[in-house]
Structure 1
Amino acid sequence: RSKTEKLIAQGATGCNSPAEAARGSDFVFSIVGFPADVREVYFGSAGILSAVKPGAILVDMTTSEPTLAVEIAEAAEDKQAMALDAPVSGGDVGAREAKLCIMVGGPQEAFEATLPLFRLMGKTIQHFGGPGAGQHTKMVNQIFITGVMIGLCEGLVYGHRAGLPLEELIQTLSTGAANSWSLQNLAPRCLAGNFKPGFFVEHFIKDMGIALAEAKRMNLSLPGLALVHQMYLALQAQGGGRKGTQALLLAIERLSGLEHFAGLDKR
């Protein structure tokens, strides 16, 4: 409830349960932490599906399980409503600046009706198919990011050990083929000792776990994803679960007995 106080002060109406928020609403948006939270928000005794009205559109923006997205869509259809799975990418910066990338699965009709609202939050909005397609797309996004993050962190450790000026390194490589959102936004935080979360390590571990489970179901071997998942699990075991994903750098440098970036950590 405390998280809603600023919104209530600006004119929003506070509610005490998902059902209360959903009752009478044309659109219901949710974004929580883990699949278990999504299940409770939708299927719990005071969940959205207990109160949704016919014709409503439900939009879950949590990064969650594709199979759960399908389950929600089927339950919504039973209530004569429609559901979209619409996870996002872009981090805290994209959210603040309304420049999120929004990946959507579900009925085309529901997507088109919701598009004006998506445009208030995101810059890139794409419909990828039926229920679960948005979540599958987000899994691809997270798999891409695993490679970027381990490369970024290993490169910074290498650059420091080689005696390179790291600020100039980041500025220069940001203009070439190594450029990425993470290089531009997360590498400077590392140099400043800022390992606070834009995106929590524990949430990234959850996402990688979902991707690995889906890969197993599809008989896919994704060794790079599995390796980075293990590295983040080690970071979590070292107390880094509530840090930002850039804190992988701390685990990487520990493998070589280094503590330069750990010494910068402002916690």
Structure 2
Amino acid sequence: MPILLSLAAFLMTLVGGLVAHHVRERRDLVLGAAAGVMLGVVAFDVLPEALALDTYKLYGVPLPMLTFALAFLGVHAVERAVAVHDAREGDYAAHRHTHAGLGLAAGSALVVHSFLDGAAIGAAFQTSQTLAVAVAVGVIAHDFTDGFNTYTLTSLYGNARRRAVTLLACDAVAPVAGATLTTLIAIPRSVLGAYLGFFAGFLLYLAISDILPEAHTSRRHPGLTLAATVAGTLFMWVVIALTELQ
């Protein structure tokens, strides 16, 4: 049963990537929506889950929040070191991302996240089928956005379509692998909580420092792009709300 549900996540991930590929003419709106979805994933899903998994505090601060800050600052430091942004803030219209490695890292992080989504389905089944179905509903719903973001992030940083499709395929297979593996191995809650905090910091940094500025480079539909960002955030809120109702 866990593997069967993870196959639904596999299909939704592929659908998300295909949608991202076929809307190039509305790239600014796609990126705006992606940024909103990423914000929603961090605020409504990943961070709350990380804090629920790990209540340990280091000098008064929850460990997932420390790894969240570490990831945010770490990605910023790496970008500064390799000069990913070679334009000033006022020059975004002429700016293009050329650091393919960062796109691959972002896509790979989403693959790991999808693997943990599948692991969450498998782990929930070790508790009860009701809990597992509720978890699976959330995973299947937001794996569409995982596929969407994996393709968008990978291609945004100058990677060829073949690489973006390869990472999309890995992202689709990842929840199946995670669900299968957790029938054999349990992931410690503290490790999972710390990772989710780290992933949240990584994802939020990309959303606010890279995706949103890139979304507004064309300046063709500033109001619609903003609306797409808000819609993406609200979409994730609805997904989480529907999950909680199960």
Q: Verify same fold: TM over 0.5.
A: no
TM-score by length of 1: 0.28
Is the helix fraction higher in 1 or 2?
Answer: 2
